[in-house]
Amino acid sequence: MIHRTRSPRRIATAGAMAAVVVTAIATGCAAPRDSSGGSAVSIESGALPVTVEHRYGTTTISRAPARVAALGAGDADTLLALGIVPTTMVPFTDPAAARIVEPWNEKLLGSSRPVILGQASSDLGSVLPAALATDPDLVIAMNNAVSRGQYDTLSKVAPTVVRPAQAQDWQIPWATQASEIGKAVGKPAEAAQLVRATEQVFTDAVAAHPQLRGRTGAVVTASADGGVSIYSPGDGRGQMLSALGLTFPTTLQGTLTNGFYGSISAENLGLLGSLDKLVVVDWQGSSDRLRANPAFAALDVVTRGDVVFLDTQAGSAMSVPTVLTIPWVAAKLVPGLAS
């Protein structure tokens, strides 16, 4: 395991970044409402009715929603930040764990416990009955792979908003996700404020650590066969590195074979050696196996100490950047990258 000494200044900087968005939420957003109560959202003047364009056409929201179901990963974070406790949530981690209370949303959830859609990220169709049973009057399914048939099923029950046509499944930029959700619930100005505060987290990190700009970086997780899975710049993990000034090297573009990720076999781990920075996210002890791999340990990026290991929770949060997860992850990630 690589141990890096963190100076008090770096720790303070990371803590300050985490406070930026928390402060914005506390000062710029209403308190969360209990989803079971069904009280209408307090909207901004003139914000509704609104027509939202998306991959399947348009959806018009005419009145303030009272019960909003979140069917996409991270969609609930934006709703919570806007003062809306959704009727449903998609967990970030192992669906079997069925956990929705995380460090970044704990205070905003309070005692509310929306219905957990554990399989929504892998089998959306199987959770639609549970989502519709919460009697939503608005469905937000922004960060998910929603088929036309699933959209038609949902939209027959309530206005449904999915990803914009120009985005790809699972690769919607976090700022676009926040802006579109804010528009749909009648809070576009609040959403814009949250986006600005979150972007400031990245701005402050790059200003404090200009050496990161232009350096190459990638995020991987170890696979069972001794190789690694690697994530594209469009994936949430890649989006985080890009926003911090790092670039995905052209030499690794060929490894991306399945949309937002790809793989590198055990015999080709040397492809990672020329990276300036490498982030390894854990999954059920996979990072320990990678550390014990002699071929990995011999890589230049490893011997220089330019690898940041993140635990499963941090890796899951990094995979879905939102206005809530970004400051939390940055506080853990930036000190390691900058050391």
Confidence class for position 251, pLDDT limits 50, 70, 90: very high
In this structure, the strands spanning 277-281 and 217-222 are parallel
Confidence class for position 96, pLDDT limits 50, 70, 90: low
**CA torsion through residues 314, 319, 325, 330, sign:** positive
Is residue 73 predicted with pLDDT exceeding 90? yes
Q: Which of 1-10, 255-264, 301-310 has the lowest mean pLDDT?
A: 1-10
Measured CA to CA, the distance from residue 177 to residue 264 in angstroms comes to 30
Confidence class for position 93, pLDDT limits 50, 70, 90: low
- Cut 0.85: pTM above it: yes
Q: Which residues contact 141 (CB under 8 A, 6 or more apart)?
A: 70, 71, 72, 75, 124, 151, 154, 160, 161, 162
Look at residue 98 in the predicted model and tell me its pLDDT.
65
Question: 3-class DSSP state for residue 84?
Answer: strand
Q: Residues 150-161: pLDDT tens digits?
A: 999 999 999 999
Is residue 125 predicted with pLDDT exceeding 80? yes
Q: Residues 157-212: pLDDT tens digits?
A: 999 999 999 999 988 999 999 999 999 999 999 999 999 999 999 999 999 999 99
Task: Single out the residue of 304, 251, 309 nearest to residue 276, CA to CA.
Answer: 304
Question: How many Cα atoms occupy the beta-carbon half-sphere of 159 within 13 Å?
Answer: 22
**Is the backbone peptide bond immediately before 321 cis, with ω within 30 degrees of 0?**
no
Domains of the chain: 8-21+209-338 (3.40.50.1980), 32-194 (3.40.50.1980)
At residue 170's C-alpha, the angle toward residues 167 and 173, to 5°, is 50
Measured CA to CA, the distance from residue 164 to residue 96 in angstroms comes to 30
Q: Which residues contact 37 (CB under 8 A, 6 or more apart)?
A: none
Whole-Å CA distances, 55 to 121, 126, 142, 165: 18, 22, 10, 4
Ranges of beta strands (E only) in the chain are 50-54, 57-61, 68-70, 88-89, 115-116, 138-141, 160-162, 217-222, 228-231, 261-264, 277-281, 307-310
Is residue 225 predicted with pLDDT exceeding 50? yes
What stretch of H or E contains 179? Answer: helix 174-184
Task: Single out the residue of 243, 244, 303 nearest to residue 272, CA to CA.
Answer: 303
In this structure, the strands spanning 68-70 and 277-281 are unpaired
